[in-house]
């Protein structure tokens, strides 16, 4: 297999993989989403404002700065918690 055909096949496989459904646990419930994807992408798909929530990924509380480079894969556990004001 030549380099160009290898690169074309690799591109095809990566594109195909990026559109597979992955099963995760979202707030303790089974959830399917196209992935793998980042926390930022998941929040966007769920229409959640990242400024008003906290995210735990596989038992680790994430800093907001990590949302864009933390990848969610099949089998991962994600907890999204809304901040509630009051007094």
Q: How, if at all, do strands 29-35 and 20-26 pair? A: antiparallel
pLDDT of 83: 78
Q: Which CATH number fits domain 21-82: 3.40.190.10, 3.30.460.80, 3.10.20.30, 3.30.230.10?
A: 3.10.20.30
Lowest mean pLDDT among 7-11, 28-32, 48-52, 71-75: 7-11
Is residue 74 classed as helix, strand or coil in its secondary structure? coil
Give, rounded to a whole angstrom, the gap between the first and last alpha carbons of the chain. Answer: 67
User: pLDDT tens across 15-44, in order?
Assistant: 555 568 899 999 999 999 988 899 999 999
Q: How, if at all, do strands 29-35 and 37-38 pair? A: unpaired
């Amino acid at each position: 297999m030549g380099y160009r055909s290898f690169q074309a096949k690799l591109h095809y496989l990566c594109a195909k993989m990026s559109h597979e459904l992955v099963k995760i646990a979202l707030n303790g419930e089974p959830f399917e989403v196209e992935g793998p994807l980042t926390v930022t992408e998941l929040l966007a798909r769920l229409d959640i404002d990242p400024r008003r929530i906290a995210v735990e990924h596989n038992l680790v509380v994430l800093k907001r700065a990590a949302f864009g480079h933390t990848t969610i894969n099949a089998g991962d556990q994600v907890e999204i918690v809304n901040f509630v004001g009051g007094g």
